Structure 1
Amino acid sequence: MEEKQTTEIIDERLVDESVIQQVIEDTCAEVLPELIDHYLSESALRIDKIIHAIDQKDAPTLEFETHTLGSSALALGNRPLSNLARKIEHLCLDGMNDEAYALRDDLIELAKASLAAIKMRKQQGFQ
């Protein structure tokens, strides 16, 4: 039986394949789709909380939510999203809240692209 091939190209800058391969090595290929599904649903909720925190100018919540998003994004290879989330977190930690809030649209755009890329990667399958 042939595996389904996708013709869509994944932006390799958004999904670090070496992280995907490490997760497979540390666990197994069969568990990765479930991990990605959980990551996608949790990240969508977290991003909503981040947007709300920015809109409400709630720096403590923003710091917590971006820290958590940064960790989970890195764990599944969404390195640029992790980096931006951590940047926002550190701006909050440094009391530079307005600078953190100003990254709202950048985060939304990068999160949308990053989550789409990891979803597309899941559709390609794992070995």
Structure 2
Amino acid sequence: MSEFKFNTDLDQDLIDESILHALVDAIGATAVNDFLHRFIDDCDARTHRIIEAYGKNRFSEVELEAHTLGTSAATYGAVKLEVVCRAIEYAKPFKNEFFDEKIEQLQILSMRSLEILREGIK
């Protein structure tokens, strides 16, 4: 996977590079690069939709978006993001401190994971 270089020193365990290496082995670096660009755009959009839906108490939408984002995050090695998405998906969403904390974690992990991926595919 010589075309990708991820700096995970500061944010260890946010991106599991072995997953990306396996994808490259399976479908090639060019395809992975294309898919990562799509994932980055999709992740950003879904994170915003989750936050917006949560703010408007549309919890079924929160659950669906968290499920979809979590699945994509797992596919592209964003393992910590996947974990928080699963916590949001499987929780019974309603406004409380636990859920507020998970939404905040989602924002942070999404931003940091995407920064690492963007740097890696330049």
TM-score band, normalised by the shorter chain? 0.7 to 0.9
Change (3 A) 1:101 1:111: same
- In structure 2, what is the equivalent of residue 9 of structure 1? 7
Per-residue deviation, 1:32: 1.2
**Residues 18-74 of structure 1, C-alpha deviations (whole Å, 9 max, x = no match):** 100111111011211111100011111111100101111111000000000000011
> What SS is found at the alignment partner of 1:62?
helix
Detail structure 1 runs of 4+ shifted over 6 Å in the superposition: 3-6
Separation (CA, whole Å) in 2 of partners of 1:112 and 1:42: 13
Identity across the alignment (%): 23
Q: CA deviation at 1:5?
A: 9.4
List runs of 5+ in structure 2 lacking aligned partners.
Answer: none
What root-mean-square deviation, in Å, do the aligned CA atoms of Structure 1 and Structure 2 show? 2.1
Higher-Rg structure is 1
Residue number in structure 2 paired with 1:18: 18
TM-score normalised to structure 2 length: 0.86
Q: Distance in 1 between matches of 2:51 and 2:108?
A: 12
Aligned to 2:58: 58
Change (3 A) 1:37 1:5: closer
Q: How many matched pairs?
A: 117
* Aligned 1:43-54 pairs, distance under 5 A: 43-54=43-54
Name 1:114's counterpart in structure 2: 113
What one-letter code is carried by the residue in structure 2 that aligns with 1:103? K
In structure 1, list runs of 5 or more residues that go unmatched.
none
Q: Within 2, Cα distance between the matches of 1:90 and 1:16?
A: 23
